[in-house]
Amino acid sequence: MSAAAERCRSDMKVLIVGGGGREHAIAVSMKKSRRVEKIYCVPGNAGIAQIAECEPSIGVMDFDKIVEYAKEKQVDLVFVAPDDPLVGGLVDVLKEAGLRAFGPDKKAAVLEGSKAFSKDLMKKYGIPTAAYETFDDADAALAYLENAEMPIVLKADGLALGKGVLICNTLEEAKAGVKEIMLDKHFGSAGNRMVIEEFMTGREVSVLSFVDGRTIRTMTSAQDHKRALDGDRGLNTGGMGNFSPSPFYTKEIDDFCQKHIYQATVDAMAAEGREFKGVIFFGLMLTPKGSKVLEFNARFGDPEAQVVLCRMKNDIMDVVDACIDGTLDKVELEFEDNAAVCVVLASQGYPVSYEKGFEIKGLEKFEGKEDYYCFHAGTKFDGQGRIVTSGGRVLGVTAKGATLKEARAKAYEAAEWVDFANKYMRHDIGKAIDEA
């Protein structure tokens, strides 16, 4: 079938790999697509199961089983959402099996998979980021710290569930951090190598983008809240809530980043023979000396996908196809002129230890309510057909409003509709909006 005829089809079958709030948001966007008839998801969760057929027994790293399942269900596309399978090369495996896949291949996903790689890339191509050094052994790292300015930032090279970054205020803390990462292997093999970098100050903003190897189209901006407790205290988590757009991400900042960061990153990857197709997530710090890259992710963020995709006007399948086919230059992304806020309802004790298996009540209150979304993250069905908690982040309650303040009020209102035994949330998601 020709590409044009393909695009007119309305009977597509799609498989989403992943099982969190991000994948639920992607599934909701696909459900809206005029072209998708059936959605499958592995492993999925209790929320995704309302709009897709899930197979909870298949994990995101079960590559052979995913290939087998995709073939059995005769899917037209596999959308790989999480970092681990992308960095592990699932897209390569799918393509070798003759399946159409969305997401960067292994060579390109290293942009997220190795902090040392991404820092070296930025240095080589003049993309603004914090000054840094890379270390393969602990003694050299410890010696370097003796003359370094504090605070300083230590980063395990590999994937560490978003937790492999330590911000150290004193030399003692920094030395203990090197020991934790490189000797005690707190983050496993992710800590065989580490980056030590300059501490930057400023506001953080996340900008997600679609990339087809050459062309990049950025989505609306968002701001995450990574720490577990109110006032940005406590441990780093996968994200406790966020809002979109960021009022601090001005036109002037966007112009700078479009010119010096976004296209430059895509061009750099292509020049390295690592053509990137998929989603690049730019974690930026708006420092007093200009915008700089904090990190790259090779995928949608979680919960960034929740606040960004619900505001996107395009049919997601058109954009996904354009990324795979290299025709993104023909696509303009459009976003609603409104705002969205997501408040994560977590299990008390996340990200360290927490109890699971509690029944979640009140989910039906979201039914038929426009502009309110209850994205499931850690949920599953128990033996009796009840929906129970099954993870640290349980739900991402999201609301849209005409303004950020309205969206925030609605999200916190809806956060009260649901209840479970050890429900925990931050109460200051979007507080920065008041300073804008």
Cis status, amide bond into 82, omega within 30 of 0: no
Residue type at 421? A
CB 304, min distance to ligand GLY, A: 6
Binding flag, residue 392, ligand GLY (CB under 6 A): no
Check residue 297 for interaction with ligand GLY (CB under 6 A): yes
What track of x and - describes contact with ligand AMP for positions 226 through 265 (by CB under 6 A)?
Answer: x---------x-----------------------------
Applying CB under 6 A, does 18 fall inside the site for ligand GLY?
no
Q: How far is CA 134 from CA 23, 131, 353, 419, in A?
A: 34, 11, 32, 46
Token pair 């991402």 is at which residue?
396
The stretch near ligand GLY (CB under 6 A) out of 181-189, 263-271, 297-305, 333-341 is 297-305
* Residue 199, contacted partner among ligand GLY, ligand AMP, none, CB below 5-8 A by kind: ligand AMP
Does position 200 interact with ligand AMP (CB under 6 A)? The reply is yes
CB of 156 to ligand AMP, least distance (A): 10
The span of 36-44, 159-167, 245-253, 274-282 binding ligand AMP (CB under 6 A) equals 159-167
Tokens encoding 153: 């930032």
Question: How far is 156 from 192, CA to CA, in rounded Å?
Answer: 8
Among 23, 76, 157, 197, binds ligand AMP (CB under 6 A): 197
Q: What do you get for the CA distance between the two ends of the chain, in Å?
A: 51
Q: Is residue 112 within the footprint of ligand GLY (CB under 6 A)? A: no
> Does position 153 bind ligand AMP by CB under 6 A?
yes
Joined together, the tokens standing for residue 129 give 């980021």
Structural contact between residues 386 and 343, judged by C-beta atoms closer than 8 angstroms: no
- State yes or no: residue 430 binds ligand GLY (CB under 6 A): no
Helix and strand numbers, DSSP H then E, in the chain: 14, 22
- Burial label, 330 (beta-carbon count in 10 A; 0-12, 13-18, 19+): exposed
Contacting ligand AMP within 103-142 (CB under 6 A): 130
Task: Please report how close the Cβ of residue 358 comes to ligand GLY at its closest, in angstroms.
Answer: 24
Tell me if residue 123 falls in helix, strand or coil: helix
Whether the CB-CB separation of 112 and 121 falls below 8 Å is answered with: no
Residue 211 contacts residue 279 (beta carbons within 8 Å): yes
Three-state SS for 415? helix
Query: Any idea what the Cα angle at residue 306 is, between residues 364 and 348, rounded to 5°?
Result: 70
| Of 20 and 213, CB closest to ligand GLY | 20
Task: Please give the structure tokens belonging to residue 253.
Answer: 């900042």
Q: Of these, 62, 157, 197, 302, which contacts ligand GLY (CB under 6 A)? A: 302
Site string for ligand AMP, 409-428 (x = CB under 6 A): --------------------
Which residue from 105, 197, 304, 321 is in contact with ligand GLY, where contact means CB under 6 A? Answer: 304
Chain residues that interact with ligand GLY, rule: CB under 6 A: 162, 224, 238-239, 297, 301-302, 304
Chain residues that interact with ligand AMP, rule: CB under 6 A: 130, 153, 162, 165, 167, 197-200, 204, 226, 236, 283, 294-295
